[in-house]
Chains A and B, each alone.
Chain A
């Protein structure tokens, strides 16, 4: 009997690789179309008439776009700093703290901005600011952004705390380090890459936000996505393609950086 036994390799399902390839194509082809169009020389966005950077130049010279971009940047930086600080504290409390009750409740509460549809967050925030009579332009937006950035910053920090376990901290405690020394010399340095990743995530999420910004922003505090949405409503133009491509590339660069940071700590763990 020399017939080889048939070995089922359950890791190979026929058709599955091509199916996955199709899904990946589905996810990326539209983005590719956008990027290609943004380099199209023709004002008619339908036909290709050669490579050109003119639309990017035009976008860079547009004062309104520059103003909106500056607003977006100010909001994103402020919201990133605030939300990352809050998130780091919360993650430490959730993973290392003594909480006899309410851990699930607090976790659910922090996850709320992720689960509640954006439109709801947008209009409740709008109603809240108007009920309090708060019309502070950029500050309103910074507050709103901080709230929904918190869960994104908590995720990697909490995961890292869970990953690294408490052994090193216990060792420090055995050597009579006080809580502050423990945090400064052991926890924080080990946590730093995750805090960095969380901060970048928060930054990207803030920079990308459209719906909440649109409902909360007032004249003078328009953010870039809100401005771009206004352009889109007027129709497909090469300027929209160019500015969209810029936003796309910025997000990609930052997120790749965040994920690489996350990967580095996984390897050192």
Chain B
């Protein structure tokens, strides 16, 4: 295929994503430096107000008062996203390893089983947990029937339920990349380790884990980024009272009508995510190069 034809074929994708995704990001960046229109949208005077708002609140007399509440929301979001990633890793790694150890047919079946929920609407998957966790939900009913509790436990609307919803939503994102790196493992490496009297634990630590690490890293990116900006889990399972960045951003474009602040928040999140993405792409690129050199 010649060069012009290649260009022609790639152009629609680049144009569509560039025009409707990259440019909008820059427009959002520009909006973050404009003045909020209290009726929604923005007004032209340029200002840094949106970024000042991260740390300060404008008082009635127009003086700035230090107010850490937004920083707390950001920190809480990061903390929940990190916790989600860690839990997904702990749960996902053994599952990925188990799948790798199975026969070809079983592998395929298990992968199907693990991936399937990912394709179900997140809205519905999150809603299921309301049915389970609410005061009259399955969990509380069960505990009451067993006589373990008299009053329903407040299982819903806390950090725990948000975390549960996030792990539930993003767990497949961790299993798949780890699986695909482990799948290429050379069984002789493991057998060699056993022959050299390595214990199960040592084999895992010294052979399996180093090989799984690139996959775990890829999985961590895939889990961390969407959890950081998640909206549904905090909204439905957190009751919308405990804000995370995702719901905070959404609010600025709906009830709070502060588009510049919303745009500033999303700019910060985007930059964070893109940095991680660029770093990751460069790493995989380097690994591919190394692989190519070895094969050559």
Report whether A208 and B117 are in contact in the complex, using a CB–CB cutoff of 8 Å. Answer: no
CA distance A175 to B29 in the complex (A): 54
- CB pair A247–B250 under 8 Å, yes or no, is no
Known contacts A34-B131, A115-B221: does B22 contact A244 (CB below 8 Å)?
no
Interface centre among B130, B229, B259, by most A CB within 10 Å? B229
Q: Are B13 and A98 in contact (CB under 8 A)?
A: no
Q: What 0/1 pattern do residues 4 to 41 of A give for CB contact below 8 A with B?
A: 00001011110011011001101110110110010000
Q: CA A116 – CA B229 in complex, angstroms?
A: 9
How close is A171's CB to chain B, nearest CB, in angstroms? Answer: 16
- Total interface residues on A, CB under 8 Å, equals 89
Question: Are A34's CB and B250's CB within 8 A?
Answer: no
Tell whether, in the assembled complex, residue A27 and residue B171 are in contact, meaning their CB atoms are under 8 Å apart. Answer: yes
- Picked from B3, B125, B131, B229, the residue with its CB within 8 Å of the CB of A117 is B229
Q: Is the CB–CB distance between B116 and A124 below 8 Å?
A: no
Contact of A10 among B21, B23, B191 (CB under 8 A): B191
Stretch of A56-64, A140-148, A188-196 lying at the B interface: A140-148
**B256 close to A (CB within 8 Å):** no
Instruction: Check B27–A92 contact: CB distance below 8 A.
Output: no
Tell me whether A78 is interfacial, beta carbon within 8 Å. no
Find chain A residues with CB under 8 A from B138 CB: 33
Q: Which residues of A contact B117 (CB under 8 A)?
A: 27-28, 31
The 8 A CB mask of A210-236 against B (1 = contact, 0 = none) is 110001000000000100110010001
Taking the complex as formed, is A81 at the interface, i.e. its CB lies under 8 A from any CB of chain B? no
Q: Determine if B119 and A96 form an interchain contact, defined as CB atoms under 8 angstroms apart.
A: no
Chain B positions 203-260 with a Cβ under 8 Å from a chain A Cβ: 203, 221-222, 225-226, 228-232, 236, 245-246, 249-250, 253, 259
State the Cβ distance, A61 to closest chain B Cβ, in Å.
Answer: 21
Is residue B47 within 8 Å, beta carbon to beta carbon, of the partner chain? no
Expressed in whole angstroms, the Cα–Cα distance for A240 and B2 within the complex equals 54
* Complex contact A247–B121 (CB within 8 A): yes
Report A-chain residues with C-beta under 8 Å of the C-beta of B23.
Answer: 128
Instruction: Return chain A residues, CB-CB under 8 Å to B222.
Output: 115
Q: Once the chains are docked, how many angstroms separate the CA of A237 from the CA of B151?
A: 23
Grouping DSSP codes into helix (H, G, I), strand (E, B) and loop, the A interface class, with mixed when no group exceeds half, is helix
**B253 and A255 form a contact (CB under 8 A):** no
Query: Is A125 within 8 A of B141, CB to CB?
Result: no
Determine how close the nearest CB of chain B comes to the CB of A38; give it in whole angstroms.
Answer: 10
Q: Which residue of A lies closest to B121 (CB)?
A: A208
Q: Are A13 and B98 in contact (CB under 8 A)?
A: yes
Given the contacts A204-B119, A240-B127, A123 and B249 also touching, CB distance less than 8 Å? yes
In the complex, residue of chain B having the shortest beta-carbon distance to the beta carbon of A143: B20
Contact of B203 among A10, A85, A252 (CB under 8 A): A10
Do A225 and B273 touch across chains, with their CB atoms under 8 A apart?
no
| In the complex, chain B residues whose CB is within 8 Å of the CB of A201 | 119
**Is A168 on the interface with B (CB-CB < 8 A)?**
no
Asked if A46 and B13 make an inter-chain contact with CB atoms under 8 angstroms apart, the answer reads no
Q: Considering the complex, which residues of chain A in the window 240-269 have a beta carbon less than 8 Å from any beta carbon of chain B?
A: 240-241, 244, 247-248, 251-252, 255-256, 259, 263
Interface residues of B in 97-112 (CB under 8 A from A): 97-99, 101-102, 108, 110, 112
Known: A12-B101, A104-B281, A208-B119; 12 extra A-B contacts, CB below 8 A, are: A10-B191, A30-B125, A30-B168, A99-B3, A113-B17, A116-B225, A117-B273, A120-B266, A121-B21, A127-B24, A251-B119, A251-B120
Residues of chain A touching chain B, judged by Cβ–Cβ distance below 8 Å, are 8, 10-13, 16-17, 19-20, 23-24, 26-28, 30-31, 33-34, 37, 45-46, 85-87, 89-90, 92-94, 96-100, 104, 106-113, 115-128, 130-131, 143-144, 146-147, 150, 154, 179, 201, 204-205, 208, 210-211, 215, 225, 228-229, 232, 236, 240-241, 244, 247-248, 251-252, 255-256, 259, 263
Residues of chain B having any CB pair with chain A under 8 Å: 1-3, 5-7, 9-10, 12-14, 16-18, 20-25, 27-28, 31, 41, 91, 94-95, 97-99, 101-102, 108, 110, 112-117, 119-125, 127-132, 134, 136-138, 141, 168, 171-172, 187, 190-191, 194, 200, 203, 221-222, 225-226, 228-232, 236, 245-246, 249-250, 253, 259, 262-263, 266, 269-270, 273-274, 277-278, 281, 285
